[in-house]
Amino acid sequence: METWYLLQSGAGAPDYNMALDEALLESAPQIGRPVLRFYSWTQPAATFGYSQKYAHVAAMTPLRPLLRRTTGGGLVPHDADWTYSLVFPPRHFWHRLKAAESYLRLHQWVGRAFARLQVAATLAPASQVEIPGQCFAGAEKSDLLWRGRKIAGAAQRRARMGLLIQGSIQPPPLPLDRAAWESALCREMEVAMEVRWAPLPSAQLPRQLALRLQSSKYSQPAFNQKR
């Protein structure tokens, strides 16, 4: 059995949510174990991939604030989605996986969690992009679909300090409970990966680093509109 940390951080300001994910990545070598974080938003917002052009994505959505992520991918609305992140330290085998493999494994896991809730989701066999740059307009290979509609996508960043995966669930229009889905997700990793869960110790939560990144980076137009 391998112990992973679970962080239920609740609702956060959009810039703090992005800052805490990056802070967890930067702290991954010191934390030393994978971290699964579930979080929500204090207000509607949208995020977009690190390499995207601000003016292009700004024209796609009325949602504000509009924040640049440290991961790749496309524009993601955060007005009704369920968000989570996974952080792996540099010596963990997930850090060594190729991006396509980690993406596939993640969404296989997410799909089985939905199956526990009697929701039949399938993996997209190939890319079906409808509007370039919008994460949930069409689908990429190994995205998760429900009746042909994309319901789960993710973006990644690999660096020397670890691997960060940021995921978004746009739940289907069914009577689903988010807490039940989160429990199902954790249970699936227990079964698939022989993981046991422990709360992230408060001493290892990089809150001060997150606050610095929030004020110096994610709240700043100079970063969000840099290209």
pLDDT tens digits for 68-79?
999 999 999 999
Average pLDDT over residues 54-67: 96
pLDDT over 80 at 136, yes or no:
no
Average pLDDT over residues 169-193: 94
User: Is 186 assigned a catalytic role?
Assistant: no
Average pLDDT over residues 57-69: 96
- C-alpha Rg value of the chain to the nearest Å: 17
Strand order in the sheet with 82-88: 122-123, 144-146, 149-159, 162-169, 82-88, 35-41, 2-12, 195-199
Q: What is the pLDDT of residue 125?
A: 87
Q: What is the pLDDT of residue 192?
A: 86
Sorted by where each starts, the structural domains of the chain and their CATH numbers stand as 2-224 (3.30.930.10)
Residue with tokens 């289907």: 172
Average pLDDT, whole number, for the chain? 94
pLDDT tens digits for 103-122?
999 999 999 999 999 999 99
pLDDT over 90 at 176, yes or no:
yes
Q: Which one of 24, 25, 87, 135 is the catalytic residue?
A: 135
pLDDT over 90 at 133, yes or no:
no
Q: What are the angstrom distances between the C-alpha of 155 and each of 40, 179, 195?
A: 17, 23, 23
The backbone torsions φ and ψ at residue 209, rounded to the nearest 5 degrees and listed phi first, read -65, -40
Average pLDDT over residues 211-215: 98
Q: What is the pLDDT of residue 170?
A: 95
